[in-house]
Amino acid sequence: MYSPSSRSIVLIAGESCLLVAAVAISGFLRLGDEAWTLLAFDDGLLKLLLVAAVYQLCLYYNDLYDLRTIGDGRDLFVRLVQSLGTTSLVLACVYFWFPDLIIGRGVFLISTGFSLTLVVGWRLAFRWLSTRATSERLLLVGTSRATVDLARELFERRQELGVDIVGFVDPDPARLGMPVLNPGVVGTIEDIPGLVERLHVDRVVVSLSDARGRLPMDTLLTVRLDSGVTFDHLASVYEEYTGKIAVENLRPSWFIFSSGFRKTRLLGAEKRMLDLIASTVGLVLAAPIMAVVAVLVKLGSPGPILYHQRRVGLQGRQFTVHKFRTMRQDAEAATGPVWSRQNDNRINRVGRFLRRSRLDELPQLWNVLRGEMSLVGPRPERPEFVDKLTAEIRFYGQRHVVKPGLTGWAQIRYTYGASVEDTIEKLQYDLFYIKNLSLALDIVIIAETVKTVLMRRGGR
């Protein structure tokens, strides 16, 4: 079965070929025999790739490589047209400054129709093929919250992921036939062998918290060897399809024996090099912007320009984080430390703009340069909250095994959180990041962060 990442690779690669083909066909239609000369001797292939790359970059910023957004045909068409329009503007600017990159007068205009037709056709074909070629039938053992959350995720995205939930198994015979989502409870643990055969199950997903001590191992072993059906732990499947780790009823043994959670010296050196380069370049390039922001903060409300606050970092060590002040100077004088919330009346007018645009975070590049933070990692929390959350949420302390980050997996996958429930949700994303730590994942997160900032999403 394709994983969501490999499906995205197939989608992008196929689209790249089609876009290059669309421009090439347009070149032959517009230039005739001259197109051969262009391709062979005038860097024509590089010019074709430039058009395709700009178009795909615009598709990316319109969320068209997020598999959850390509189900609605009308929305797909609108986003494609918007991307094509943005591509035209970007290429117009590029061609104005670098006219030698023009592939041929009128070629791009002709290619727009071909590009739109081919991409729409490819998207529809990809959706049709993926739902059939990668269809997998899952039987979920257990009805815990994590199991239902997984089912809900797959149910909402099953057109994109090609996953079919055939039913739930519950240890309690009295619950047989009860609805859960769609479908409901189709049997008990003793019924699993028969259900696998009758419902043509490909994978049995087991919540050990629901089935611990009740699984007939000898019987299930026979089913596994006879039918070839796969048995998987709920936490592993949940991670595979949601990009987060379900902490509900999760035992430390899962972390101990699970793959991942590798922190090598080489990876540490790569991340530190990326941090040094990005923070140095970022501080230099952002210096004029920070000067303007400093003036705006000073004019916006009385008080200091920068806000200094203690946060918890690597291995629980505290450090001082620096941000542009976005609240009134006496914002917490009466309440003490509290979470920020939607429409927080402590935030001044300039502060709302700074938070929405993430400009208030720019001074944290200094924390990254000093090594107190990394460019990518779990967001650092205040000590007052960490003590409370560590006592209330299992595994919360594990997020401090890596440096906190200016941005992170939780920040691009989940909206701003201001409650214990939100913190649990973000912790699940943070644990996924720690488990799958890599420079490639960091680069993906940075790219997504740039998109989030440009689209002005999620700030408060």
Residues 6+ apart with CB under 8 A from 429: 243, 244, 408, 409, 410, 413, 414
Evaluate the CA torsion angle 358, 360, 361, 365 in order and state its sign.
positive
Percentage of the chain surpassing pLDDT 70?
Answer: 85
Higher pLDDT, 66 or 51: 51
pLDDT band with cut points at 50, 70 and 90 for residue 100: confident
Higher pLDDT, 76 or 114: 114
- The pLDDT score that the predictor gives to residue 290 is 94
* Domain segments of the chain as ranges: 4-132, 135-249, 265-454
* Helices (runs of H) and strands (runs of E) counted in the chain: 18, 9
Structural tokens at position 445: 């997160």
Tokens 């000093």 appear where? 370
Worst-scoring range by mean pLDDT, 99-113, 114-128, 295-309, 424-438?
99-113
- The pLDDT score that the predictor gives to residue 446 is 92
Does the pLDDT value for residue 2 go beyond 50? no
Residues 6+ apart with CB under 8 A from 247: 393, 394, 395, 424, 427, 428, 431
Q: Do 180 and 267 form a contact (C-beta atoms < 8 A)?
A: no
Beta bridge partner(s), residue 374: 405
pLDDT band with cut points at 50, 70 and 90 for residue 105: confident
Identity at 313, one-letter amino acid code:
G
**For the purposes of burial, counting CB atoms within 10 Å of the CB of 430, is it exposed (0-12), middle (13-18) or buried (19 or more)?**
buried
pLDDT band with cut points at 50, 70 and 90 for residue 457: low
Worst-scoring range by mean pLDDT, 30-34, 304-308, 349-353?
30-34
- The pLDDT score that the predictor gives to residue 1 is 41
**For the purposes of burial, counting CB atoms within 10 Å of the CB of 40, is it exposed (0-12), middle (13-18) or buried (19 or more)?**
exposed
pLDDT band with cut points at 50, 70 and 90 for residue 67: low
| Average pLDDT of the segment spanning 15-37 | 80
- The pLDDT score that the predictor gives to residue 294 is 93
- The pLDDT score that the predictor gives to residue 35 is 65
Query: Best-predicted range by mean pLDDT among 42-51, 148-157, 262-271, 360-369?
Result: 360-369
| Average pLDDT of the segment spanning 129-133 | 66
Q: What is the pLDDT of residues 367-414, one digit of tens each?
A: 999 999 999 999 999 998 898 899 888 899 999 999 999 999 998 888
CA distance 441 to 386: 26
- The pLDDT score that the predictor gives to residue 40 is 61
Segment (H or E) for 171 = none
CA distance 438 to 98: 36
Residue 212 backbone zone (phi > 0: left; psi -120 to 50: alpha; other: beta) = beta
- The pLDDT score that the predictor gives to residue 250 is 77
- Strands 306-312 and 230-233 turn out to be unpaired
**For the purposes of burial, counting CB atoms within 10 Å of the CB of 404, is it exposed (0-12), middle (13-18) or buried (19 or more)?**
buried
- The pLDDT score that the predictor gives to residue 3 is 47
Q: Do 273 and 266 form a contact (C-beta atoms < 8 A)?
A: no
pLDDT band with cut points at 50, 70 and 90 for residue 279: very high
Does the pLDDT value for residue 233 go beyond 80? yes
Tell me the three state secondary structure of residue 239.
helix
- The pLDDT score that the predictor gives to residue 348 is 80
Does the pLDDT value for residue 340 go beyond 90? no
Which of 317, 424, 321 lies closest to 366, judged by CA? 321
CA distance 196 to 203: 9
**For the purposes of burial, counting CB atoms within 10 Å of the CB of 110, is it exposed (0-12), middle (13-18) or buried (19 or more)?**
middle
pTM of the model: 0.80
CA distance 206 to 415: 29
CA distance 34 to 369: 53
Percentage of the chain surpassing pLDDT 90?
Answer: 26
Evaluate the CA torsion angle 18, 24, 28, 29 in order and state its sign.
positive
Tokens 């400093």 appear where? 294
CA distance 236 to 247: 11
Structural tokens at position 217: 């191992």
Which of 348, 314, 316 lies closest to 329, judged by CA? 348
- The pLDDT score that the predictor gives to residue 456 is 64
CA distance 55 to 53: 5
DSSP state, 379? P
Residues 6+ apart with CB under 8 A from 160: 7, 67, 68, 70, 71, 127, 130
- The pLDDT score that the predictor gives to residue 270 is 93
Q: What is the pLDDT of residues 137-160, one digit of tens each?
A: 899 988 888 888 888 888 765 556
Higher pLDDT, 367 or 235: 367
If you average pLDDT over every residue of the chain, what do you get?
83
Segment (H or E) for 321 = strand 318-324
H helices of 162-307, in order, are: 192-198, 208-211, 217-227, 234-242, 252-257, 265-300
- The pLDDT score that the predictor gives to residue 380 is 93
Tell me the three state secondary structure of residue 355.
helix
Beta bridge partner(s), residue 169: 141, 187
Q: Classify domain 135-249 at the CATH superfamily level.
A: NAD(P)-binding Rossmann-like Domain (3.40.50.720)
